[in-house]
Amino acid sequence: MGAMTDITERPGALDLLKAPVTVLVGHFGAGKTEIAINLAVAFKRRGEVVALADLDLVKPYFRSRLARHELGALGVGVVVPEGDMVYADLPILVPQVKGLIARAGDGAGRLVIDVGGDDLGARVLGAIAGLTDPSHTDVLFVVNGRRPFAETLDEVATMLREVEVAARLRITGLVANTHLMEETSPAVVREGLDLARQLAGLTGIPLRFCAVLARVAALPELDDARAICPILPLERRIVPPFAVKVRLPVPLKGAAVV
């Protein structure tokens, strides 16, 4: 990889994820899918064995399964419904997920689970055994304070509790992911960090990392944010067809990470 700045070469967000299973939950549209894909790619680049399970039973478009061929080419196993059902908007829970959870960390590598939004999307977790041990499974709650119904501390705290009830799981970490896509400024990122820290203060659940578009993450204006928590630089992988797509094998150039 030479002199390229790569998140796999630095300590940071990934080092805090000790458990072999990472589950991403949160509000509808909070950014779980992009973070799940970016985490899977980052773990893979570290040389780990990684599988990504798409358990999004809520949204019909822009699901992580859309990246299945590119992830597969990188060597990330992707667990999605088979055949034509991959296109369906049906609540299909792929049975292999249970085996992957049981075997994760035990020679079978890591498993990243992308879950649908809100308590509705998290409900599927309540039907899956083997996720309740925090040393085995990290359950990360992703917060984007610029999303509808997620703009105040009260709203995100309420959703966090509703997700825990629906998933029948304890949330073990918070991820700050406040952004406005390409219009994200350092000020928006800081505003999101504030909201996530308030949520951490209220719930006692630690803030694990802040996810930021790679281009913004590299800005010096975010140096103060880096002192608060690690930053996970993100490359958008699931984009509409008019966007110029970043191909998966492209390294995360220029992204400074603490």
Partner 1 sequence: MAKKLMKGCEAIGEAAIHAGCRLFFGYPITPQNEIPEYMSARLPQVGGVFLQAESEVAASNMLYGAAGAGCRVFTSSSSPGISLMAEAISYIAGAELPVVIVNIMRGGPGLGGILPSQSDYFQATKGGGHGDYRVLVLAPSTVQEAADLTQDAFDLADHYRNPVMVVGDGLIGQMMEPVEFKRSISPEELPAKPWATTGCSDRKPNIINSLFLNPEELEAHNWHLHRKYQDMAREIRWESWKLEEPVDVLIVAYGTVARICKTAIDTLRARGVKVGLFRPISLFPYPSEQLSQAVEKAGKVLVTELSTGQMLEDVQAIVAGRKPVSFYGRVGGMVMSPEEIEREVDKLVAS
Which residues sit at the interface with partner 1, rule CB under 8 A? 29, 59-62, 87-89, 144, 146-149, 151, 179-181, 183, 240-244
3-state secondary structure of 84: helix
**How far apart, in Å, are the Cα atoms of 22 and each of 49, 65, 78?**
14, 17, 14
- Smallest gap from Cβ 184 to partner 1, in A, equals 9
Residue 113, beta-bridge partner list = 23, 53
- Smallest gap from Cβ 61 to partner 1, in A, equals 4
Using only C-alpha atoms, what is the Rg of the chain? 17
Reference 59, options 82, 26, 83, 84; nearest CA is 26
Residue 48 or residue 151: which is nearer to partner 1 going by CB? 151
- Smallest gap from Cβ 36 to partner 1, in A, equals 16
Residue 18 or residue 87: which is nearer to partner 1 going by CB? 87
Which amino acid makes up residue 109?
G
Residue 96 or residue 185: which is nearer to partner 1 going by CB? 185
Q: Measure the CA–CA gap between 10 and 251, rounded to whole angstroms.
A: 14
Residue 63 or residue 110: which is nearer to partner 1 going by CB? 63
- Smallest gap from Cβ 11 to partner 1, in A, equals 30
